[in-house]
Chains A and B, each alone.
Chain A
C-alpha cells in the first residue's frame, strides 16, 4: 500500500534532522520542516484514502469480507507507520525549534542597554543660587532645586549583562546637562554564591535607608526628601564592597554590610589605606494577606571626614571657607507598605513610605581655612559636636490605570550643634549662620500620568521652607522616559 521508498525517506530525513540541526542554516531548516510537513500531509491523505476504500469495501459486499479484513489490516499498518513518521516529525520539529532560537551572531551576547531621558521645567519663587537648608552643614554635591525654567535632567545610560557564571556586571553612566559624564554605578555582583549570600564590588548606591538605593528616575517625586539631601547629599554612592545575606526563613530577613572608601558626603576623600566608611543594615519584610506587602529597615552608616569644607558668611559679611574633620554616624529607620486589591496593582494601588534619620558628628571645625582677606578673625579651630535628625512620610495612590497622585511631608530638626569656638567666646554664633537653629519643613503634592511602563509625565507643587524665614514655592513639570531593555525595579 505505502511506497516503501517514501517511508524510508521520511524516516531517514527525520532521523538525520536532529543531528544536522546544528550545522544547517535557518533557510535549510525551514525547507526541511516544509518537507516533513508535506510528508505528513501525504500520509494523512493516504490514510484518508485507505479509510474511504475500506468503507467502500464494507458497503459494497458482505461477501467481500475477506478483502475488507485485509484492507483493514493494511490500514492499521499504514496508520502505525504514519504514527511513527509523525513521532519522528515531532522530534525533527523540536530540533528545528532549538535551531531557530539559537542566536545567529556574536551580537546576541551584547549586554542589555537602557537609556533614561529626563527633562524638567521649574518655576521657583526664590533664587535657586542662594539655596541652603539652614541648620545643616552643606553637602558636597548639589542639592538645590536646580535652575529656573527649562532644564535637561540627568540622562542615564545603563548597561548590564552576566559576565560569566560567577558575575553580573552593571555600568550606569549619567550624562549631566552641563556636558559632563559621571559614573553613577559600576559594579560586579555575584551570581554563583549560595546559601542566601550575595556580593557586590565597585561603585553602587548604598543601602542606607530605603530611597537611597532606588534610582532617581524611579522616585515618586521629582526631587529627594530634605532628609536625604542633608544627611546623604541627595543620594549616597560609594566605592567599595557589599555583602548581603538573606535568611532561610519564610519571613524576609536580610542583613548586610558595606565597606567603602567614604568618598562622598557625609565622608570625604582621604589619603588612607583600609576602610573609610562602613554601613550595616538589616531589612525585615513580608505579606499581610494577598493585598498588602511591607518592608522595614534599619541601617547605620559610620564614616570619617577630613577637610570636609563648605562656604559660609561670617558676622563681618566675609565669605569664609570652613572645614570639618571628625566622625559622622548616621542611623536610618525606614518603613514601606504597599497595598493593591488582591495584590493586582494594575488598576489601583497605594503606597506608604517613611524614613527617619539621626546623625551625630564629633570632631573639629576649622574656621576660615583659607584665611580669607577681610576676615579679621584669622584661622581658628575648635570642637564640633552635633546631634541632628529629620524625617519624611509620603503616600502615593494610583486611582485609575496610568494616573497617580501623591503627597509628601518633610521635616528636619537642626537639633544641637555645639561649637567649641563659640563656647570659648573666640567667635560668635553669628559667625556660623549656616548653623542657625531651623526646623525646615516642606509639603509636596505630585500628580503623574504614565502612558506605559516606559514613560511618565509629572506635575509637582511644593512649598519649601528650607531657608530660614523664607518660603520657596516650586512648580515642576517633568518627563521621564526609558528606552531599551526592560528594567526590573526594586520593591
Chain B
C-alpha cells in the first residue's frame, strides 16, 4: 500500500533557464522533478565531470572547415595554435554531405566555421547550425566565415530555374581553384583568427605574411609553368573547375553532366562526342570525388585523354597541402598535353 502511494506522489520543481550569452531570455519550465532526477541529471553530471577533466581552461581555438582546402589554409596560417578538422574529404562530393552525428558534435565544439558558402553546403550546414546549439558559429558572428563572400564569383545565373539543374543562385561556389582567391581568403581568415584569439594575433599575422609571400611566388611559378595550357579546350565533369579555367585561360567546351548535379546519361555523352568532333578538346577532366566511368567512356570514344584532378587537398598523393594541390593539378594537365 505504501508503495502505491509513493508511486502516485510526484514532486514538481521549477527550473529557470537563461541564455548564457544574452542574459535576456529566461524561460520557466514546470518540470516533473522525478523525471528530471531519473534521466537528465545523472547523465549531465557524469558528462560534465568527465569534460572538466579533459578541457583545460585555455583551450586551443577549434576550427571546423567545411572542405579540406579551407582546413589546409587554416593550417598554413595558424600552425599548431589551433586545432583544425575538415568536415569532408576530397573523395566526398561537397554537394551531397549529410549532417552526420559526428559533424554535429564537431560543430558544437567549434570556435570558427570556414566554408565555401554560396549554397555549396546548403544541404547540411543549416542543420549543423540549428542542431549544434553553438552561438559562436552562427551567421553574422565572427565564428562564421563564408570564403566565397570575399571574392568575385563567376557564373552568377541570370535565370533561376531548377529545370536548369542544381544551380547556385549566388554564383559558382568552387572558388578555391584560382590561387589568387586563396590569397584573398587568407587575408580575411588571418583577421578572423586574430580577432578570435587576440593572444596569438601577431603569430597569425606574421605567419600569414610569410605564407602570402611564398604563395605569390608559387603563383608566378605556376603561371609560367601553365603557359602551354592557355587557350586549350577542355571538357569537365561538373562545373567545379571554372575558377581554374578563368585563371589559366582554359576554355570549357562541355561537361559530362547534362545539367549541374545531374549524372551523365548516354544520350548526353553521345551528343558530347558529336560536339567534340566539331570542336575538339585537348583533355577531359574529372575530380577525385567523381566516378571515373563517364570520363573514361568519353575518352575511349574520342581518343582524348581523361585526367583525374585532385580538386582539393587530399585528392591525390601529391596534393598533401595547398601547394601540392596546384603542383599536382598543373602536372597532370601538362602531362596530358604531351
Contact = CB atoms under 8 A, between A and B. Distances in A.
Interface of A: 93, 97, 101, 165-166, 168, 189-199, 241, 243-255, 257, 259, 274-275, 278, 280, 282-287, 290, 293-295, 300, 302, 338, 342-347, 401-402, 451-454, 483, 486, 488-491
A396 to B, nearest CB: 13
B124 A243 contact: no
11 contacts: A101-B149, A192-B21, A193-B21, A194-B19, A245-B133, A246-B108, A248-B109, A285-B102, A343-B91, A344-B96, A491-B127
Contact of A402 (B93, B104, B136, B263): B263
Interface of B: 17, 19-22, 25, 27, 29-32, 35-36, 39-40, 43-44, 47, 51, 55, 88-89, 91-93, 96, 98-102, 104-106, 108-109, 119, 122-127, 130-136, 138, 140, 149, 152, 162, 165-166, 170, 261-263, 289, 291
Contact of B127 (A259, A274, A275, A488): A488
A287 to B, nearest CB: 5
Contacts of A248: 51, 55, 108-109
A490 B126 CA distance: 10
Given A196-B108, A343-B92, A490 B136 contact: no
Contacts, number: 184
A101 B43 CA distance: 47
A259 B31 contact: yes
B32 to A, nearest CB: 6
Contacts of B36: 257
B101 A346 contact: no
Contacts of A250: 102, 105-106, 109
Contacts of A401: 263, 291
B43 A486 contact: no
B135 A342 contact: no
A346 B124 contact: no
Nearest to A292: B100
Closest 7 pairs between A and B when the two form their complex, measured CB to CB: A285-B101, A252-B101, A252-B105, A194-B135, A342-B91, A196-B133, A401-B263
Contact of B135 (A191, A244, A274, A300): A191
Given A196-B108, A246-B131, A274-B30, A491 B91 contact: no
A331 to B, nearest CB: 12
A293 B262 CA distance: 26
A408 to B, nearest CB: 21
A194 B134 contact: yes
B101 A338 contact: no
Given A166-B22, A192-B21, A290-B89, A275 B109 contact: no
B100 A192 contact: no
A329 B130 CA distance: 30
Given A165-B140, A491-B99, A192 B30 contact: no
Contacts of B29: 241, 243, 259
A451 B261 CA distance: 10
A244 B133 contact: yes
B133 A197 contact: yes
B92 A195 contact: no
Contact of B100 (A195, A249, A254, A491): A491
B40 A255 contact: yes
A491 B101 contact: yes
A343 B91 CA distance: 8
A255 B103 CA distance: 16
A189 B133 CA distance: 11
A343 B101 contact: no
A242 B106 CA distance: 22
Nearest to B121: A488
Contacts of A280: 35, 39-40
A428 B87 CA distance: 62
Contacts of A490: 99, 127
A343 B68 CA distance: 14
B20 A195 contact: yes
Q: Point out which of A97, A241, A343, A344 has the most chain B C-beta atoms below 10 A from its C-beta.
A: A344
Contacts of A252: 101-102, 104-105
Contact of B131 (A195, A198, A278, A300): A198
Nearest to A160: B126
A402 B96 CA distance: 13
A156 to B, nearest CB: 17
A195 B133 contact: yes
Contacts of B170: 101
A196 B89 contact: no
A343 B89 CA distance: 8
A466 B109 CA distance: 46
B61 to A, nearest CB: 15
Contact of A489 (B30, B98, B106, B125): B98
A255 B40 CA distance: 7
Contacts of A282: 39, 43
Contacts of B40: 255, 257, 280
B253 to A, nearest CB: 24
Contacts of B44: 245, 255
A109 to B, nearest CB: 14
Given A285-B102, A486-B122, 5 more contacts: A249-B51, A257-B40, A285-B101, A453-B261, A489-B127
